Structure 1
Amino acid sequence: MTPILPLIAAVSLAAGPGGTGPAAPARVVPPGGHRPPAASSTSLPVPSAAAAATEGVARRPAALTAVDQRRVLAYWTPQRMARALPGGLLGSLASIGRPALGALPLRLAAVRPPVVRPSAGAPPREHPGAPGTAPATRAPSAAGTTAGRPMVSTSGARWASGGAVTRTTGRVFLTMRGVDYVCSAGAVRSRNLDVVVTAGHCVKDGTGAWAENWTFVPGYKAGDRPFGMFTARRMLVPEPWSRKGDDSHDLGMVAVNPVAGRHLGEVVGGQRIGFGVPRGRPAAGFGFPADPPYDGEHLMYCAGGTGPDPHGQTHDQGMRCDLTAGSSGGPWLSSFDPATGEGVVTSVSSFKYSDDPGTMYGPYLGDQARRLFEAAQRA
């Protein structure tokens, strides 16, 4: 298995709600606010097993009935939410022994306590922090420029400017093999108005177990749940992640249930999502890191240029970022406007190398991710 952490960009972006209007050259998912088509999302065609295999998507039903949904919501008491584990990052290294770590990857998120794993190929011989091994865009001056003010580069800071990103980004609470964990995720614009994007390991533990009690809390802040809690209806990951734990495909998408008859997109809106976006573009990554020095109670972000995996072990891109465990699955937004809090999801936080905790990596969103999104829109 290769290293792990994410990002999402797009030369061609997905079609908007209802598919109305001419397709834009970049295929950006149009703004939300539209109500679902006459047929409800549950009546949309469901691919056969053969079709699912062709599109390379693994899926699992979650809380499909009202009884299931009430059970999941009752499970997440304030006490359970407070005790859910972000999974240690650096804390676990001491017990393993730093000298033997080299440049092996660490899972950043919280599905299981992070472990140092051998990669699919031979471990890199050079230290990631050694001269000449870091991405060329490691220390950019800005994460992008908008018509308003520029997005200032940072490796980790609290987001205090408001805007759409504070509504669409949230915490994920899940149970994996009997242990409660937290991750991060973001709502994106979709035809069914129900799609949430996160890391694959926040949905399914690679080749292992699927998550249970999966719940998204958009706009989370210091224990407040201003927009409610959205339980999972169906969970989806790419086949390369489900079958091989391929870190280049550490991506998950979840179709969530409406709350009080209202779809997620109607309540909080959603960010655009893009596929096949040129690599190397600046981005802003958001999430709720819960390992020190963070506490998981506030939306944090990092912003700057992106560059390739210096070891060539994944197709991911990296960004200078000090966010810790619990931020896994948080969205990376390209073309981000700090004045409105809007951008295009082009990746999600996935992993860090053990000897370079200052760089986050996230999967590149290409054709495989597009197929996953199309399946999630039908789920």
Structure 2
Amino acid sequence: MTLSTPMLAGAPLLAGLIGSALLGAAPAPQQAERPVTTAVSAGGPVFSVARQVVRRAGIVEHVAARTPADQQRVLDYWTPQRMAKALPIGLLGLATSDKGLLGDLTGGRALPSLPGGRGPAAGQALPGRTAQPAEPRHHAAAAPSTGTVGSRWGSGGLVARTTGRVFLTVAGADFVCSASTVRSANKDLVVTAGHCVKDGAGEWAANWTFVPGYGSGGKAPFGQYTARRMFVAGPWSRSGDDNYDIGMVALATSRGRHVADVVGTQEIAFNTPRGGQAFGFGYPADPPYNGSHLVYCAGRLRDDPHKQTRDQGLGCAMTAGSSGGPWMTRFDPRTGKGTITSLSSFKYSDDQRTMYGPYLGDAAKALYTMAGRA
């Protein structure tokens, strides 16, 4: 079994902790409605307005903050102080219960906090904490590079508006991820990693909020958008299959406006040729980053050398917090426009300078189609 750890800041061992399931897994059966659930954490109320989980064609849906009152409670939950504290946690085992994906593998005991890395390939021993990547440049380059493993994005453009930070609560603890708006019929859609939406076979995230164009000091120049409905692929929901570490979230409006009308959107494509040049974006929060700036990586995509997944790798030293950030091909650095073909998902713990992202195939297309109409 391959131990995997995604790039979720504050939860480097939260999800993706089990090896990839067979690609030909059968679709999940229909599942009836579930009652409303509300949890309470030591840090305050956790609003999980989950009224149903619907499984159709291998897609699992979750209703989040449905009413304006529910949405306002989520917005009120994310005070500047709470956002500031939703940063890397040393040992996830100290913050979560023994249930869900983490508990299934650890029995509730704390595991070593790897800096956002996936476990080794099958047959290898799990190494201890690996060295942090070299300190990146914290100033923006004069011009975007087509070959960088982590530089601050300072060229503005559309990508600086469409990419944002995600704030969420899982198992009573607050975490951060990254996400991007994407063109859709409902004008409300963002794409992110599956583990930034649902803890594999475990629970759904609560208090889910997207802040596009996030700025230093918690600035939200384009507003904050709570989740209305969340969608993941069946194989991710059933077993945390890393090949399907993709999440789509339909957002509520902010001050009566759809996110697409406020910040714009990126294109998305499916079943594209493998390989080629890509730009990856996100808000890494583990050292040497602090989550305050949009960071990017750029380079050629390559297949998973361990053949544990169908994912592709991108040279990238971004750390936890960058999970869910978009990878774009046909990207124009001058305009910041591109086509999303993957997203930041995991690293192997013995290679901290390569990020892996899922291949967006038919399952991702079905997920996008359903979520874009929600």
TM-score bracket, normalised by the shorter chain, equals 0.7 to 0.9
1:192 aligned onto 2:186? yes
Aligned to 2:325: 330
Amino acid at match of 1:167: R
Aligned to 2:169: 175
Aligned to 1:273: 268
1:300 aligned onto 2:300? no
Structure 1: any 5+ residue segments left out of the alignment? 7-46, 93-111, 128-148
Task: Return the offset for 1:86.
Answer: 3.5
Q: Distance in 1 between matches of 2:355 and 2:73?
A: 35
Amino acid at match of 2:71: Q
Aligned to 1:81: 83
Q: Is the 8 A contact 2:53 2:61 kept in 1?
A: no
Which structure's relative contact order is higher, taking Cα pairs within 8 Å and 6+ residues apart?
A: 1
For residues 278-315 of structure 1, give each alpha carbon's deviation from its aligned partner in whole angstroms, at most 9, with x where no partner exists: 00021100000001110100000000001000010001
Instruction: Within 5 Å, give how 1:41-52 maps onto structure 2.
Output: 49=54, 52=55
Aligned to 2:352: 357
Aligned to 1:162: 156
Aligned to 1:377: 372
Aligned to 1:72: 74
Q: Is the 8 A contact 1:169 1:218 kept in 2?
A: yes
Q: 1:205 aligns with which of 190, 194, 199?
A: 199
Q: Distance in 1 between matches of 2:166 and 2:149?
A: 22
Q: Cα RMSD (Å) of the superposition?
A: 2.6
1:57 aligned onto 2:51? no
What SS is found at the alignment partner of 2:372?
Answer: helix
Amino acid at match of 2:154: A
Q: Is the 8 A contact 1:5 1:250 kept in 2?
A: no
Q: Sort the Cα spacing of 1:316 and 1:292 in 2 relative to 1 into closer, same or farther, 3 A.
A: same
Q: 2:256 aligns with which of 244, 257, 261?
A: 261
Q: Is the 8 A contact 1:86 1:291 kept in 2?
A: yes
Aligned to 2:310: 315
Q: Is the 8 A contact 1:184 1:327 kept in 2?
A: yes
If the length of structure 2 is used for normalisation, what is the TM-score? 0.74
What SS is found at the alignment partner of 1:60?
Answer: strand
Amino acid at match of 2:167: F
Q: Sort the Cα spacing of 1:192 and 1:113 in 2 relative to 1 into closer, same or farther, 3 A.
A: farther
Q: Distance in 2 between matches of 1:367 and 1:159?
A: 31
For residues 7-30 of structure 1, give each alpha carbon's deviation from its aligned partner in whole angstroms, at most 9, with x where no partner exists: xxxxxxxxxxxxxxxxxxxxxxxx
Provide the aligned length of Structure 1 versus Structure 2: 293
For residues 257-293 of structure 1, give each alpha carbon's deviation from its aligned partner in whole angstroms, at most 9, with x where no partner exists: 0111110100111000010010002110000000111
If the length of structure 1 is used for normalisation, what is the TM-score? 0.73
For residues 330-376 of structure 1, give each alpha carbon's deviation from its aligned partner in whole angstroms, at most 9, with x where no partner exists: 00011110000000001110000011001000000000000000110
Q: Sort the Cα spacing of 1:164 and 1:213 in 2 relative to 1 into closer, same or farther, 3 A.
A: same
Amino acid at match of 1:58: V
